[in-house]
Amino acid sequence: MNSLALINEFLGQPPNASEHGYQIDHILEFAHWFMAALFVGWSAFFIFVLIRFHKSRHPKADHYGVRSGISTHLEFSCVLIEAVLLIGFAIPLWAKRVNEFPTGQEAVLVHVVGQQFNWTFHMPGPDGQFGKRNIDLVTNSNPLGIDPNDPSGKDDLVVLGELHVPVNKPVIIELSSKDVIHNFDIPHMRIAADAIPGSLIPMWFKPIKTGTYEVVCGQLCGLGHYGMKGTLVVDSPADYQAWLKERAELAGTQSAPPATQRPPGEPPVGPTPGTVPPPGAPKNANPGAKISPSPSGQ
């Protein structure tokens, strides 16, 4: 498969860090090789024809031109290759993504809520139960409106912007949004889904490399869309436990930094401070150092 992978690397795709990601990369690779073959084949033909049948070289055109049915074969093979890609790869892969969610205790379950312009992560805490949410209770300090009277909500973790998950464990994310449509996209994990208000969309992946990854909002969601960044940290199991512990201690006191509060009805004035670099900020001096998967991180 290494030779196949060449083309994705050649096109600049960053390394994959999830279990299913290589399958997605394979589809991309196959598709790109197929496209490249078609492109190169036709281009060669094209250039040849343009030169060979230039007016100066071929002053009198042939009314009939090509009489063989070669193009039919060519078109048929295109159909065949596309069918193989479709039936052999794409459909089963998607079915696996959306029908075979991991079950039981081994999966980490997180609720992710998008809002202009940040992500809030809601984890059930040690009891494995999500607390009830109620939009009437939403305040700056309780961005998800978790019901304080609900016992299962007492130990919940609510984290803004940065999500930690353990490596080599499936992560199930249930996505929703408070306001407009966002898209929770983790390029390195080869996974993404829309966060749509009024619905809950599940998605899952299994990170296989520790490191820090960027979460992109992949759907235009307003003026701060470009800065709606999240962070996914894939920890070793030990680090993960430590993080959980640290967060649990903070829980209730400081569960989330304040969201920007604007008077109701007023148009948004800007992205949440701190999430967006000011325009013209110096370019990242050493890009890739902070976020891309740590080379040693296995």
Partner 1 sequence: MNNPPDIAQDPAEHEEYAHGVQQHVSRYLMVGGLLLFFTLLTVALSYVDFGGFFSWLFHIHISQEGSRKLNIAVAIAVAAFKASLVALIFMHLAAEKRLIYRVLIFTGLFVLVLFWLTYLAWYDPITR
Partner 2 sequence: MDASTSHPPSPGFGETGETHGPHHHEAGHDHEHHELGFWRKYIFSTDHKVIGIQYGICGMIFLFMGFSLMMIMRWQLAYPGQALPLIGKWLPYIFGANSMPDGKMTPEFYNSLGAMHGTIMIFLGVVPVAFAAFGNFVVPLQIGAPDMTFPKVNAASFWAFAVGGAIMLTSFFVPGGAAKGGWTSYTPLSDIADKGPGFHTVLNGQSLWLIGFIFLITSSLLGAVNFITTIIQLRAKGLTWMRLPFFVWSQFVTAFLLLLAFPPLEAAIIMQLMDRTAATSFFLPAGMIVNGAPLHVSGGGSPLLWQHLFWFLGHPEVYVLILPAFGIVGEILANNSRKPLWGYKSLVFSVLVIGFLSFVVWAHHMWLTGMGSTVSAFFQTTTLLISIPSVIILSAFFISLWGGSIRFNVPMLFVTAFLPMFGIGGLTGIPLAFNSADLYLHDTYYVIAHFHYIVAPGTIFGLFAGVYYWFPKATGRMMSEFWGKVHFWPSLICMNVIFLPMFLQGMLGMHRRWYDGGQGWTLAGEHIWGLSGFQWNTPISWAAWIMGLAQIPFIINFFWSIKHGKKVNDNPWEATTLEWTAPSPPPHGNFVTTPVAYRGPYEYSLPGREKDFTMQNEPVDPSERSRRMAEPALAH
Rounded to whole angstroms, the maximal C-alpha distance in the chain is 89
Helical pair 21-52 and 91-99, crossing angle rounded to 10 deg: 160
290 binds, among partner 2, ligand CUA, partner 1, none (CB under 5 to 8 A by kind): partner 2
The minimum distance between CB 245 and partner 2, in angstroms, equals 28
Q: Hey, which residues between 13 and 52 contact ligand CUA (CB under 6 A)?
A: none
Residue 94 engages ligand HEA in binding (rule: CB under 6 A): no
Provide the 8-state DSSP code for 267: P
Distance, C-alpha 118 to centroid of its chain: 15
The minimum distance between CB 90 and partner 1, in angstroms, equals 16
The minimum distance between CB 266 and partner 2, in angstroms, equals 6
Dist CA 90 CA 27 (whole Å):
7
C-alpha closest to that of 160 among 225, 113, 202: 113
Q: Hey, which residues between 28 and 67 contact ligand HEA (CB under 6 A)?
A: 38-39, 42-43, 46
Closest to partner 1 by CB, 89 vs 101, is 101
Q: Which stretch binds partner 2 (CB under 8 A): 69-77, 149-157, 236-244, 245-253?
A: 69-77
What x/- string results for residues 165 through 204 when contact with ligand HEA is judged by CB under 6 A? ----------------------------------------
Whether residue 117 has a cis bond before it, omega within 30° of 0: yes
C-alpha closest to that of 162 among 222, 250, 103, 223: 250
C-alpha closest to that of 161 among 287, 274, 14: 274
- Choosing from 104, 261, 295, 296, the residue that interacts with partner 2 (CB under 8 A) is 261
Segment (H or E) for 192: strand 191-195
Q: What residues contact residue 124 under an 8 Å CB cut-off, 6+ apart?
A: 109, 130, 152, 155, 156
Residue 276 engages ligand CUA in binding (rule: CB under 6 A): no
Dist CA 42 CA 36 (whole Å):
10
The minimum distance between CB 251 and partner 2, in angstroms, equals 22
18 binds, among partner 1, partner 2, ligand CUA, none (CB under 5 to 8 A by kind): none
* Residue nearest ligand HEA, Cβ-based: 42
Residue 27 engages partner 2 in binding (rule: CB under 8 A): yes
What x/- string results for residues 198 through 237 when contact with partner 2 is judged by CB under 8 A? xx-x------------x-xxxxxxxxxxxx-x--------
Residue 202 engages partner 1 in binding (rule: CB under 8 A): yes
Strands (E), 90-181: 108-115, 118-123, 157-160, 162-166, 171-177
Residue 146 engages partner 2 in binding (rule: CB under 8 A): no
Q: Hey, which residues between 130 and 189 contact ligand CUA (CB under 6 A)?
A: 182
Dist CA 70 CA 258 (whole Å):
67
- Choosing from 42, 80, 242, 252, the residue that interacts with partner 2 (CB under 8 A) is 42
Q: Hey, which residues between 194 and 223 contact ligand CUA (CB under 6 A)?
A: 217, 219-221
**What is the sign, positive or negative, of the torsion defined by CA atoms of 287, 292, 296, 297?**
positive
- Choosing from 148, 246, 262, 298, the residue that interacts with partner 2 (CB under 8 A) is 262
Q: Residue written as tokens 């394979």?
A: 26
What are the distances in angstroms from CA 92 to CA 76, 95, 169, 185, 253?
23, 5, 22, 21, 46
Residues that bind ligand CUA (CB under 6 A): 114, 117, 182, 217, 219-221, 225, 228
